[in-house]
Structure 1
Amino acid sequence: MRIFFGLCGIVLSFFMLKYRERVGDTMGEADWMRSVGGVYMIVIVLAVLIFLWSLAAITNTMDILLFPVFLIPGLSRPGPPPTPTF
């Protein structure tokens, strides 16, 4: 299933890049989008992020992709449960 969803994500990112004008017009433009390059740049960035996420899902390297996120305090994964000593 992860390969299927990964391929769907890659196809989605391709079509987001190909039809970015239509996607951008559908999304509309907010004030914060103007400071980062406009709505079309946001569509490009989203397409690249979806492509990388899908590629990591297919190759099972999601831990490597999300490693910087887990460096943020409070978002780290819990460690292994302690082993009881008798």
Structure 2
Amino acid sequence: MYSPRNHRVLQEKASHVTRFIALADVKNPLNRKYLYALKLVPIDKMTREDLTNQPEDVTENPYREIAEAESFPGKETVSCEI
């Protein structure tokens, strides 16, 4: 079950948000297409306020625990499920 979580950036110094969008293959008998629209703004054209603004739906990096476990073998991790 997926449950949104607060991002650690909210507790750390101001930093820009990275938007990660994963699109899966779409296979269906009618060969329908799915689109995702992006509005891209170059980082050098953004204000500091725009760069550090944290969206309400920001979530923790889902791969952070895996990366930390590989970086620090033997370190115990605590996780909880709702």
- TM-score after normalising by structure 2: 0.23
Larger relative contact order (Cα-Cα within 8 Å, sequence gap ≥ 6): 2
Larger helix share, 1 or 2: 1
- TM-score after normalising by structure 1: 0.22
Structure number with larger C-alpha Rg: 1
